[in-house]
Structure 1
Amino acid sequence: MTPRTENQPQMSVEDFEELERHAPETVWLEFINGKVVVKPMPDGNHSEIVAWLQKYCMQHRPDVWLHAERGLKTERYRKGRARADGVLVPWGALKGHGEWSDTDKALMAVEVTSWDTDAAQRDRVDKPDGYAAAGIPVYVLVDRVDCTVTVFSHPEGGRYRQQVNKPFGAALEIPDPVNITLDTEPLKEFVD
């Protein structure tokens, strides 16, 4: 038997998708950096932040929609599977897609931090790298621990080359192809 190394995935993407299909409804699974990860179920404030972002995007960009909890094919060669808290796409862009969508139409991915111990690594490191490698132009991280919003943009070589971080309450520019200014003042009411 060949010993497993750090760079080998725990299983194939196909095996992961089969496992995920049979997981209980109370568990969301992701496949990040070749490892199965359990994504925590969102609490009320988490869900309200995503709903607020949906409404905000709809008001400022009625030609797009922020889909909540959308499965995306991420990382290099689409070998990862992430369930984004939100993915912004043009209206109708997910038509005909299965549970895991290619990211070619994605304008922005959004994550809202959870309170589990793995959130820091997953949301601040693993997911930005996976989204950048998949070519998603913008990644927005709403960090409830630090009370900040970070906009990652300009993916190149599997990494975002620009990063802007502002505290809750500040105005924050979300660049091309989203092109909106996010007023983060309302996020203060969702801090636990």
Structure 2
Amino acid sequence: MSVEDVVEFEELAQRAPETVSLELVDGKLGVKPVPDGDHGEIVMWLLRQCLQQRPELGLYPEQGLVVEGWHAGRVKPDGALAPIGTFAGQGEWAAPDHVLMTAEVPARDHDADRLERYEKGCGYARSGIPVHLVIDRNSDTLTVFSDLRDGEYCQRRTYSYGATVGLPAPVAITLHTEKLKDYAR
């Protein structure tokens, strides 16, 4: 993908209607639907857990990340955990250099589901983000991807809602997931 294509995408993303968010994933245009209420509550639940345990970090919702080396991708995870101040002075699309974890809460839509479950996770790994968390509302589970080696996550652990989930270093946060049962449908 050329620099001109990326610039063109960024201009298109700025003009997208409020009902969608555009991403450039693995060289393809991706459309992320507007989140529903349960999605927002899950992201807020995660944000509170992170801030309570690691106040020096922020969970930045919908922060655009440039995932270079991955078809010059532009993605917006549901949460990007990074030290406070990491994104100061950066534009809509920031480097993922200091991001410790990305989090995705996939929509109940099949296309978004594949995008958020697989394709974006591969991009996060190739960009060097140590931990990737997927909170899956279709199966009422959390999956933690970690042990990053050569641009791939070598460890994948899945937990049911209600479990206590320890996120590995450098995140080092324990998630108490009982509350997620309130958002199971």
- Is the counterpart of residue 149 in structure 1 residue 142 in structure 2? yes
Please list the CA deviations of residues 149-179 of structure 1 after superposition, one character each: whole Å capped at 9, or x if unmatched.
Answer: 0010122233211111110011111011110
Please list the CA deviations of residues 107-160 of structure 1 after superposition, one character each: whole Å capped at 9, or x if unmatched.
Answer: 110000101121331122101101001111110000000100001012223321
Q: What does 1:4-153 align with in structure 2 at a 5 Å threshold?
A: 12-74=5-67, 76=69, 79-153=72-146
Task: Tell me, in whole angstroms, the C-alpha distance in 2 between the residues paired with 1:53 and 1:168.
Answer: 13
SS of the residue aligned with 2:65? strand
Asked if the contact 2:100/2:171 (under 8 Å) is kept, the reply is yes
Asked if the contact 2:126/2:152 (under 8 Å) is kept, the reply is yes
What letter is aligned with 2:67? T
Asked if the contact 1:75/1:132 (under 8 Å) is kept, the reply is no
Q: Give the C-alpha shift of residue 77 in structure 1.
A: 5.5
| TM-score with structure 2 setting the length | 0.94
Please list the CA deviations of residues 29-66 of structure 1 after superposition, one character each: whole Å capped at 9, or x if unmatched.
Answer: 00001111110100000000001111111111111010
CA RMSD across the alignment: 1.5
- Is the counterpart of residue 170 in structure 1 residue 163 in structure 2? yes
Q: Give the C-alpha shift of residue 75 in structure 1.
A: 5.0
Asked if the contact 1:27/1:38 (under 8 Å) is kept, the reply is yes
Q: Give the C-alpha shift of residue 78 in structure 1.
A: 7.0
| TM-score with structure 1 setting the length | 0.91
What letter is aligned with 2:184? V
> Which one has a bigger Cα radius of gyration?
1
- Percent identity, please: 46
Cα gap change, 1:100 to 1:78, in 2 (>3 Å): farther
Task: Tell me, in whole angstroms, the C-alpha distance in 2 between the residues paired with 1:53 and 1:107.
Answer: 14
- Is the counterpart of residue 188 in structure 1 residue 181 in structure 2? yes
Range with greater deviation from structure 2 (103-112 or 78-87): 78-87
Cα gap change, 1:75 to 1:150, in 2 (>3 Å): farther
